[in-house]
Amino acid sequence: MFSHFRTMWLVFLHLFRKKVTIQYPEEKVQLHPRYKGRIVLTKDPDGGERCVGCYLCSAACPVDCIALQATQDENGRRYPEFFRINFSRCIFCGFCEDACPTYAIQLIPDFEMGEYKRQDLVFEKEDLLINSQGKYPGYNFYKVAGMDAGVKQKGHGANEELPVDVHSLLP
C-alpha cells in the first residue's frame, strides 16, 4: 500500500523537473559532432573523391550492406565506379568509418532518413558523396601514399626521397 503512495508522490515530483521530451520535428535534436548517423562519402581538400575503392568498409560491415566496384582513371587513381549502401540493412555501427584508410566514409550527425518505401533506402554514390571533407579536414591519401596517381609524382610525397637512380652504384 505504501509503495503505491510513494510512486504517486514521485510522479507528482516529476511535474517540477525540466522536460526531456522535445517537440520533434518542430524542435530539432542537438546531436554531438561524432554522432553516428547517416553515412556520407567525403572529398579531399583538392576536391577529389577520397574513396579509393579498397573494399575495407564493405568487408568490415557486419550486415554486408555496402557494395562497390573500384575502377581507375587514366592516371591510375582509384575511385568507386559505383558505391551502394543499403540503409534498410545498415545498423549505423560505424565500423566502415573505422575501417576506412582514407577518411572517405564518415558517419555524420543526421538520422532523418525515414522513407515510406524500403527501396528508397538504397543509396548510390550520387546520394552519398558530399562536397566536404567532413570531420577530417586536410587529408589527401594520394599525397602520402607511395604510388603516383596523378596527385603527386613518385618521390614528391611528404615523407619520400626522390626516386632511386637505377644506374648509380654510389652508396
Partner 1 sequence: MPKIFIDNTSYEVKAGKNVLEACLTLGFDLPYFCWHPAMGSVGACRQCAVKVYKDENDTSGKIIMSCMEGVRDGMHLSIDDKAAKAFREQVIEWLMTNHPHDCPVCDEGGSCHLQDMTVMTGHDYRRYDYKKRTYVNQYLGPFIHHEMNRCIQCYRCVRFYKDYAGGKDLNVFAAHNHVYFGREKDGTLESPFSGNLAEVCPTGVFTDKTLRQHYTRKWDLTSAPSVCQHCSVGCNTIAGERYGGLRNIVNRYNAEVNGYFLCDRGRFGYEFVNSENRITKPQVMHQAVDENALMHHLETVLTNHSLIGIGSPRASMESNFALLDLVGKENFFCGVYNEEMMLERRITDILDSGKIPVASLKQIEDADAVVILGEDIWNTAPMMALAVRQSVMKTGGREATEKTPMPEWHELAVKELQQNTKGFMVNVTVTETSLDEIASLNINAAPDDIARLGFAIANHIHPSLELKNFEEAVLAKAKTIADELLKCSNPVIITGTSCYNDPVLRAAFDIAAALKAAGKAPAIAFVVPECNSMGLAMMRGHAFDTAVRRVNREPNVTAVILEQDLYRNLPAGIVDEFLSKCRNIIVLDSLNNATTEKAHVLIPASTFAEGDGTLISYEGRAQRYYQVYVPDNKYIRESWKWLSRMKMIISGKANGHDPHHDSVISSLETALRQFAGISAAAPSSGFSIHGEQIPREPHRYSGRTAMLANRNVSEPKPVADGDSPLSFTMEGYQGTPPSSAIPFFWKPGWNSPQAVNKYQQEIGGDLIGGNPGVRLFVKSSGNMPEFFKDYPEHFRERQNKWLLLPQSHVFGSDELSVYSAGIAGRSPEPYMGLSPVDAKMLDVTEGSQVTIKSEKEEYSFPVKIVESLRNGIVLVSKGLPGTQGMSWGNWVELAK
Contact footprint for partner 1 (CB under 8 A): 52-56, 58-59, 61, 63-72, 78, 84-86, 88-89, 101-102, 118-119, 121-122, 124, 141, 144-149, 154-155, 157, 159-169, 171
For partner 1, give the closer residue by CB, 31 or 91: 91
Give min distance, CB of 109 to partner 1, in A: 23
The rounded distance, in Å, linking the Cα atoms of 157 and 28 is: 44
Sign of torsion over alpha carbons 139, 144, 149, 153 = positive
81 secondary structure, DSSP code? E
80 close to 69: Cβ distance less than 8 angstroms: yes
Nearest approach in angstroms of CB 35 to partner 1 is 23
Q: Considering the complex, what minimum distance in angstroms separates the CB of residue 92 from partner 1?
A: 14
Q: How many CB atoms lie within 10 A of CB 54?
A: 18
Determine if the peptide bond prior to 109 is cis (ω within 30°).
no
Whichever of 12 and 116 has its CB closer to partner 1, that residue is: 116
* Least distance from partner 1 to the Cβ atom of residue 159, Å: 5
